[in-house]
Amino acid sequence: MIVMVPLDHVINNPWQTRHGNPNPAYIKELALSIAQNGLLQVPIARLIDAEGKPDPIHPAELDVPINNSDWVGYFAQLAFGHNRLAAYRWLNERGDDPNFAREDWSRIPLDLQPLSDVQMSVQAWTENKQRNDQTPLDDAYAIQDRIEAFGWTHEETAAYLGISRSAVSNSLRLIKLPGNIQESLGMGELSERSAFALIRLFDLPESIRKKGEDQYENSWDTRSAATKPSKIVKDALAGESSDRIRQRIDDLVGRFGEKLSSAPWKYSDNFTILMAGIDLPENISLAALSSPACKECSLRIDTHLCLDKTCFAVKTALWQISLLNLASQDSGIPYLDGGEANRYYRSVLDYGEARPHAEAIIATKCENLRLIYSSQKVERDDVDALDGHPFVKIICQKRSGSCSCLLGIQAQMRAKFEKPVSIPDAEEREDDQVPQGQTLVEIFDSEELRESARAARRERKASIERIPAIKEKVARILAGELLKLNAKLWKEIVYKVRYSSSKDLPAKGLTLEKLAEHLADGMAENLMPREDEYNGDPDPEGSFRSRVDRYLKEKGCPETGNIADPGNQMELEL
């Protein structure tokens, strides 16, 4: 229904979110066109009462003579056509001008329709999208107004306005930009692409942006200084490309964040619940977590970036401990965590002579076996795999050479087969190998293997304990030879032990016998094996005896077998 409405009874669409006044030059041009050619398209409006409420009755059914001058208590609310209304007002203000006096510009023809609030909002959106001067920020505030007014979801907003859901989300993010940047965008000083690139910077928590400012305030590193937030904004306003802006912001995030896509846990995993009842190392605490679950954390951005590296590192350690704890419960083997585990990235089970016997060693339940976390998946057929726990491996705390379990297994095999045997490494089978198709665990039961390992450990310990007695023998032999004035021996011993022995010599009462004993003790100490020198040796005593006997023989001295034990108190031969 088209009616003539007094200009002072026409009001704007409440969902018209244009900022600022219409362009005066454009309104004048439009007014002159209307004066010359008439109104080509009648604006649409709806009837509202004095309180601003839409009248539910169709205008054609109203008893009020709205075509006459009586518009008391009623107004026409424009759906679209605000520039045409402004043009009519421009013409009405110039009613005394002879060029415009032939028409009554105090009323404007409007097509009154019973429109709902939603229809009014969509009409305003459509009108604004046809404008050349509509800015992305205008769109953002228009979308926000409609969501707040109608309670629309992003999906519903997109459907009503005829745009994509991502366009709705991205537009709303512009409102998060600081006021000065919004102003630059509205004035055209900042491009739309650059504004969208900067959104990511202001999505970061203020604490992260402050870190970026503080850390690089006095940096001489050009690349580091380029990630300073204030410099990123300054360069964006100066016209830097949006791609370069995004790259610099990515560099900033990379310095303070971690990719959650690399985390083995789920965003919904609650670490307070996960670690309940598990004893934690002193250097790890749940109090260090920003949030028990990543899903609820305010420092998670872009769905997959964590901006708290400390929390990420603690959760990584806690996750490993939770897996190790479960594996330990299933296997009965204790676990190592953190730096302690890093020392055992290779163990007796990984390489060397013990590798073929790993299954048998594990079967002994040796007290030196431990579990460690593996960042790489452990295949089921690996010798150090633990069935059902693909990221846990079994290691031995002792180095390859000192494995007593291996010594016990070898002793058991010698007793069983009356010759050394080994597990075949390939399909070919030698005469000294375990019978084809069998493993040590099948040949011996686990208790036999454990007992052999225990026996080997006891014997080896006893063998090591006998070495000091051999050292005393060697010292007595060397002292006796020195007293025989063995010039070759004197020269070598004095050369080798002079630095370590001179400080212990008595200042007075030094005799040849005391000097010989002193130097002999020093040389015997030099011949002692290092702590790890006989690792893997089932008889360290015998190996040490052989070593010192070779030395004594080379120097023309009696061998240890020709001298009685120290307990016999045999006098030195003079």
Q: Is the dihedral of CA 302, 303, 308, 313 positive or negative?
A: negative
Helix (H) or strand (E) holding 339: helix 338-342
Between these two residues, 459 and 312, which has the higher pLDDT value?
312
What pLDDT is recorded for position 156?
94
Residues 213-237, mean pLDDT to the nearest whole number: 76
Q: How far is CA 429 from the centre of its chain?
A: 48
pLDDT at 232 over 80: yes
pLDDT digits (tens, 9 = 90+) for 86-138: 999 999 888 777 777 678 888 999 999 989 999 999 988 888 887 766 788 88
Taking the C-alpha atoms of residue 450 and residue 207, their distance in angstroms, rounded to an integer, is: 58
Between these two residues, 511 and 266, which has the higher pLDDT value?
266
Taking the C-alpha atoms of residue 64 and residue 60, their distance in angstroms, rounded to an integer, is: 10
Q: Which two tokens stand for residue 450?
A: 């454990």
What pLDDT is recorded for position 427?
40
Within 10 angstroms of residue 387's Cβ, the number of other Cβ atoms is 9
Residues 70-77, mean pLDDT to the nearest whole number: 82
What pLDDT is recorded for position 566?
46
Residues 429-456, mean pLDDT to the nearest whole number: 59
What pLDDT is recorded for position 329?
92
Residues 397-405, mean pLDDT to the nearest whole number: 61
What pLDDT is recorded for position 508?
65
Taking the C-alpha atoms of residue 9 and residue 27, their distance in angstroms, rounded to an integer, is: 20
Encode 81-93: b = buried (16+ Cβ within 10 Å), e = exposed. Answer: bbbbbbbbbbbbe
pLDDT at 465 over 90: no
List the single range of 75-89, 381-395, 522-536 with lowest mean pLDDT.
522-536
Give burial (CB, 10 Å; 0-12/13-18/19+) of 483.
middle
Q: Is 113 helix (H, G, I), strand (E, B) or coil?
A: coil
pLDDT at 462 over 60: yes
Residue located via tokens 């431990």: 370
Inter-CA distances, 122 with 78, 143, 155, 158, 473, Å: 12, 10, 15, 11, 106
Q: Are 385 and 378 a contacting pair, CB within 8 Å? A: yes
- DSSP 8-class letter at 9: G
β-pair partners for 45:
78, 112
Beta-sheet strands, E only, within 353-445:
369-373, 385-386, 389-396
52 conformational bin, left if phi > 0, alpha if psi -120 to 50, beta if neither: left
Taking the C-alpha atoms of residue 302 and residue 164, their distance in angstroms, rounded to an integer, is: 19
Taking the C-alpha atoms of residue 361 and residue 350, their distance in angstroms, rounded to an integer, is: 12
Inter-CA distances, 426 with 110, 141, 241, 348, 500, Å: 95, 73, 62, 20, 53
Beta-sheet strands, E only, within 252-388:
258-259, 300-301, 305-306, 369-373, 385-386
Q: Which two tokens stand for residue 324?
A: 């190790």
pLDDT at 237 over 50: yes
Residues 228-232, mean pLDDT to the nearest whole number: 89
Q: Are 175 and 141 a contacting pair, CB within 8 Å? A: yes
Residues 7-26, mean pLDDT to the nearest whole number: 81
Between these two residues, 386 and 342, which has the higher pLDDT value?
386
Alpha helices in 484-511 (DSSP H): 487-501
Q: Are 274 and 322 a contacting pair, CB within 8 Å? A: yes
What pLDDT is recorded for position 560?
79
Question: Residue 208: which of 254, 147, 176, 262 has the closest Cα?
Answer: 254
Q: Is 121 helix (H, G, I), strand (E, B) or coil?
A: helix
pLDDT digits (tens, 9 = 90+) for 309-335: 889 999 999 999 999 999 999 988 898
